[in-house]
Chains A and B, each alone.
Chain A
């Protein structure tokens, strides 16, 4: 009974922690890369990134838009977009967008 209470308390505690959008999520650790978008332009000579972070699921800041990432690299024709999701113990989470293009 005591163990069940501990597990329930942990589940409750973790459910309000920092989570990051990802097709697969690890409660303790997440390090995922996945595709976000693709266009008909196959050429990529530049890469731009943009990210947003969350702490404890309480504060989340940043601009992880495709527009921000493309602007940083001077990309006007996008080839494809990937993203990366990282989180550690629900304390810290980061979402990074990678825009490829020319």
Chain B
């Protein structure tokens, strides 16, 4: 068999494997614990100019729907934020929900940008609404008089489609959004 064909076959196999590996573990991790399953939706960046908001989501699933989802996010910006009001989630002008409570985890400067890490909570139906919104999702960061908007990108579109399908099957209640 000519070398070109061998290389072509190897590359084809590699591309198929790479495509096949676009599975749930790329976006979601689950861990069985005593009495519950821990779900972790991996960080996905929401960019606006040179600023970035990178949220990740963690919740414990027992029986029935989870009470709340822990949302931790990193905010990379030129100016530091020591306090936040809340996050709101929108899709095409419609408000999908907002976060409750907030805690500043840390604030540090890296390469001329401020990295602020906050911890907050959202309801499980709000998470489902965010997943359903796909690329139309917009996250707004409210801090005193400042509102910063971060639109979703392709990464969120891919992640939300996969995670929505998995959560719909394993945790359920997509129709109760």
- On chain B, the number of residues with a Cβ less than 8 Å from chain A's Cβ atoms is 26
Q: Take A3-B3, A47-B58 as given contacts and tell me if A74 and B105 are in contact as well, using a CB distance cutoff of 8 Å.
A: yes
Q: Are the C-beta atoms of B40 and A72 separated by less than 8 Å?
A: no
Partner of B3, one of A6, A43, A89, A100: A6
Contact with B along A48-89 (1 / 0, CB 8 A): 010000000000000000000001111000000000000011
Max count, chain B CB within 10 A of own CB: residue among A26, A74, A98:
A74
**How big is the A interface, by class?**
20 to 34
Docked Cα-Cα span, A49 to B31, in Å, equals: 15
Q: What residues on B are CB-neighbors of A89 within 8 Å?
A: 14
Q: Are the C-beta atoms of B74 and A72 separated by less than 8 Å?
A: yes
Binding site for A on B (CB under 8 A): 3, 10-11, 14, 17-18, 21, 25, 29, 31, 33-34, 38, 40, 42-43, 56, 58, 60, 70, 72, 74, 105-106, 117, 119
